Structure 1
Amino acid sequence: MRAVRPHRFLPAVVAAALLLAGCSGGEGTATASPGSSTDGAPPTATPASGSTAATPLQPLPAEIPAALSSYYTQKLTWQPCDDGFECTTFKVPVDYANPSGGDLTLTATRARATGGATRLGSLLLNPGGPGGSAIEYVQATAKSFDPGVRAAYDLVGVDPRGVGESSPVSCLNGDRMDAYTATDITPDDQAETDALVAADKEFAAACQQKSGATLGHVSTVEAARDMDVLRALVGDDKLHYLGKSYGTFLGATYAGLFPGRVGPMVLDGALDPSLDARAGNRGQAGGFETAWAAFAKDCAKRDNCPLGSNEKEIGEQLDAFFRKVDAQPLPTDSGRKLTESLATTGVIQAMYAEFLWPRLRDAFTTAKAGDGTGLLKLSDDYYERSADGTYPNLMSANMAVNCLDLPAPFADPAAARQAVPEFEQASPHFGRDMAWMALACGYWPLKATGAPHTVRAAGSAPIVVVGTTRDPATPYAWSQALAGQLESGRLLTYDGDGHTAYGRRNACIDTAINRYLLGGEAPANGTRCAK
């Protein structure tokens, strides 16, 4: 992931709802992009402005090291769990550079293939995050997958190291997490700046205190190596994989490390691994701006739009509302106050999917009448906060992975403040927030182990990269960039709104992906699907 505190790439609740509700209607049509190649060659990608010089990710040796053989030869014991699913655990080394230095226990679930003799193997799924639970995702969405895919594949989800049920890291919870999420992230003076810094430091210190050595070993590279262990344990020579959002970064990392073991691989809502944290956060700010413009255009057409009758007025009303709630937080039916940061997160949450837009309109209607409950509930959905005030380890893992994967974009408040104008140029409505959110890793107790890089995955099977043109969290340009880096990349475009595309009942996208998963026929590079 590139953005931190609080913005991750895919709320698990939205991922499940997209598949179950099919919020994007329309059959869709496929065309080749004007000027794009349709012979399988990936498009040429231009690195985003602000990215650092990125070197290619180098593959690991094809032969499994002797020191890891005991991990690759474990026997999985699957046990019934949760309404027809099976669950198991397996061991991976805490540190692949020192396999004798201790183990982590990872948990996986599966829905068995329904087709018997037609089974092709296991399809490993990851919904994103980082920090999203693949176990919850599989158990929430398995029945909504195409019947052909369900017949051919065991659908498998493993919570990555540090996440969910796999040796989870822990930071803040309950009242302290409530306070953290409510902290002003657009400081107007020194006192508010000091409060933001103190909150980020408290979060980092709690992570270090509660998570121990695990905190330093939850990088994406390590999680990708764990996936190769699981690939072997389920008996597959090649990895069959579907990753969404941050899951695309995880999948691309696997492909870069193990290109010869790549089977059918779909990367939906892609990240660009060549971007540094500053460029990534700024790019994501632009993605949310694009999504907001789509929401505003839609709202302006409706008689019940609570923010105005044209896009310019709606944007001005949003800014005015943020200023008002910054000065005086709104009451809610929970007794908690809706602060500016919580209101912003509520708006951001609604940008992930069109089916949330009516909720956002209703939330603004009640907020303008002095009740912040609707926006607070959207914010709580984003964080997956339970009604009893507890949180999953989602944001703990999110921060831990992000801060290991890339060096912090800003070392102190002065650097973040200096960057605000360039972020606001990318996103007039969300840029300031996104610049200050990126400060959090500046106080992380561990040095980053990763760096920007490109992924070629030379020699791999075709890898399908799916990009949505108005994706809020993973801008379309990132999918273009990743497809261009991959030697065997095939770019499949969904011309529409929302975060990710597969499983949203667009027949064009779904048919192309299902055909690829079941028969190995990758769509022609540059194929576009209409809404």
Structure 2
Amino acid sequence: MDVRRVAAPAAALALALVAGCTTTVAGTGTAAGSPAPAGLESFYGQEPSWGPCAPFAVTADDRDSYADPALDCATVTVPLDYARPDGDTAEIAMLRKRATGDRIGSLLLNPGGPGASGMSFGPSIAAGIAGTPLAERFDLIGFDPRGVGASEPAIDCETDTERDEERADIDADGSPAGVALVEADSQEFVDRCVERVGLDVLANVGTREVVRDLDILRDALGDRQLTFLGYSYGTFIGAKYAEAFPANVRALVLDGAVDPAQDPVESSVDQAAGFQLAFDAFAADCATRPDCALGTDPAAAVDAFRALVLPLYDTPAAVGDGRQLGYADAMTGVVQALYSDQLWEVLRLGLTELTAGSGRVLALLADSYEGRAEDGTYDNDLEAFPVIACVDDRRITDPAVYLEIDTRYREVAPFRDDGRGPSAARPPCAFWPVPPTTEPALPVVDGLPPVLVISVTGDPATPYEAGVRLADQLGAALLSVEGNQHTVALTGVPCVDDAVTRYLVDLEIPADGASCTI
């Protein structure tokens, strides 16, 4: 499930570039009045002890945003292994911005990933909806799924130094030696995760567990039913929650849908094609600008781009902080910018700088994607990503399948072809030490209230058609959005935000065929 959401609001990033002291108390009842699942009675009826958010900060950005006195934070206790509820436990951390008026309930957020922090995401959404009916009627809740951010135990497989080393180019190709080099790196990551995180945690961090945690959070917040907004991978959480607890759903907004039934090969190829479309749209726009490093002919942009970035394999560009930008990091920075057309201006600047031998801007874009702060520390989003994906996705161990994926990937996304030939190298999931816990399948749900699915026509990471299929499967309303970005709800597009607000507040779904334009 190779999807991510841009870690910071794109406009804010563009502008920048031109253990907790609270506790929970377990009870035997349920705060919301619905019956607790058998064997889990002690985890329902918890009363979170809210307090300052500063102790929950795990990044420098968190320390700044969590200082807002209007925010408070808490933890909720859940079983580490739901098959053994009397065994070890985990702590799920959450951040709250209280409703300012007549409260309907809580609006829980997931920004995607898998592995993205809802707590870190919460303050930006809270700022964006300040003064709106959503801020008036809902407590805004950002939560860190198990293993992520401030939740404990955390997925922490590598040190900051090791993360920097991982980002350095692996000078590998599709030869047997190149495949062996990449697979040794995959196995090293697996071994570090087993040693530093533990098999018991690795086996219990998938969406199967997150969905059950989410119901305990709902109950602890005092809500009889769940109101949820999920972006990207968060749509997978929402769909799986609907399957497991349909009677506990009040409203679901699923933006940037993951197709839960799609074959991993087709999913990878479709996503590659989506990013090629985003690159082509960027190149067409860039060609109209006098400072476009790719020239004035969009049809020649792929060749011009590859001529610019391929030399980084042998001659990295200076970043200015003692680091160098190699090919892999340059591509990471480019892909980060293709998530939203709000970052196209930054990408143009980065490519222009690269023509002069500077990798500063592309490195900043790559750092944003990788979760690296100015002080060299990392959040754990991208460490959590494969750990969660490896138990959510169908296990593939056949090198021939990876060769097929890489071959087709290069065919549909030539801007990402490194010229070194396709490789059969297997990623960490092929060597994962615990089995998958989630079966890929379209959700089958009876008795679900109306759901809102949002899909952007030019979304590079989660193709528009996936949203169409998910809406059809859930019997949901589909809001189609013309634009070039990954997810759109509550990002300041009035047509979309108005529809989301009417749905969440009044449960009013858009009319059939409703559409918006970014």
Aligned twin of 2:27: none
Q: 2:117 aligns with which of 130, 133, 136?
A: 133
Q: Take 1:158 and 1:308, find their aligned partners in 2: how far apart are those partners?
A: 44
CA offsets, 1:239-280, max 9 Å, x none?
001111111111111111111111111011110000132222
Instruction: Check if 1:348 corresponds to 2:335.
Output: yes
Aligned twin of 2:441: 453
Aligned twin of 2:99: 113
> 5+ unaligned residues in a row in structure 1: which ranges?
22-61
Runs of 4+ in structure 1 over 6 Å off: 431-438
Aligned twin of 1:242: 229
Instruction: Check if 1:72 corresponds to 2:44.
Output: yes
Amino acid at match of 1:445: P
SS in 1 for 2:345: helix
Aligned twin of 1:363: 350
Offset, 1:186: 6.3
Offset, 1:218: 0.5
Aligned twin of 1:151: 136
Offset, 1:130: 1.1
Aligned twin of 1:311: 298
Identity %: 38
Instruction: Check if 1:266 corresponds to 2:238.
Output: no
Offset, 1:15: 6.6
Amino acid at match of 1:101: G
Pairing of 1:417-456 with structure 2 (within 5 A): 417-430=403-416, 439-456=427-444
Amino acid at match of 2:361: G
More displaced 10-residue stretch of structure 1: 491-500 or 431-440: 431-440
Instruction: Check if 1:162 corresponds to 2:147.
Output: yes
Q: Take 2:426 and 2:447, find their aligned partners in 1: how far apart are those partners?
A: 36
Q: 1:389 aligns with which of 371, 376, 386?
A: 376
Q: Take 2:437 and 2:292, find their aligned partners in 1: how far apart are those partners?
A: 47
Offset, 1:195: 2.3
Change (3 A) 1:237 1:342: same
CA offsets, 1:42-93, max 9 Å, x none?
xxxxxxxxxxxxxxxxxxxx95333101101222111133312111111101
Amino acid at match of 2:274: G
> 5+ unaligned residues in a row in structure 2: which ranges?
16-33, 54-66
CA offsets, 1:349-375, max 9 Å, x none?
001122211111111111112222221
Aligned twin of 2:7: 12
SS in 1 for 2:415: coil
Aligned twin of 2:81: 95
Change (3 A) 1:428 1:436: farther
Instruction: Check if 1:496 corresponds to 2:486.
Output: no
Offset, 1:298: 0.7
SS in 2 for 1:263: strand
Superposition RMSD in Å: 2.2
Offset, 1:324: 1.6
Amino acid at match of 1:128: G
CA offsets, 1:401-433, max 9 Å, x none?
100001234544x54224322222332223779
SS in 2 for 1:13: coil
Change (3 A) 1:16 1:379: same
Q: Take 2:45 and 2:113, find their aligned partners in 1: how far apart are those partners?
A: 29
Aligned twin of 1:179: 165
Aligned twin of 1:257: 244
TM-score by length of 2: 0.88
Offset, 1:334: 2.1
Offset, 1:190: 3.6
Contact 1:183/1:199 (8 A) holds in 2: no
Contact 1:223/1:250 (8 A) holds in 2: yes
Amino acid at match of 1:125: L
Change (3 A) 1:91 1:437: farther
Change (3 A) 1:224 1:437: farther
Contact 1:186/1:436 (8 A) holds in 2: no
Contact 1:204/1:443 (8 A) holds in 2: yes
Contact 1:319/1:429 (8 A) holds in 2: yes
Contact 1:281/1:434 (8 A) holds in 2: no
SS in 2 for 1:325: helix
Change (3 A) 1:429 1:440: farther
Instruction: Check if 1:194 corresponds to 2:153.
Output: no
Aligned twin of 2:30: none
**RCO (CA 8 Å, sep 6+): is it higher in 1 or 2?**
1
Pairing of 1:38-49 with structure 2 (within 5 A): none
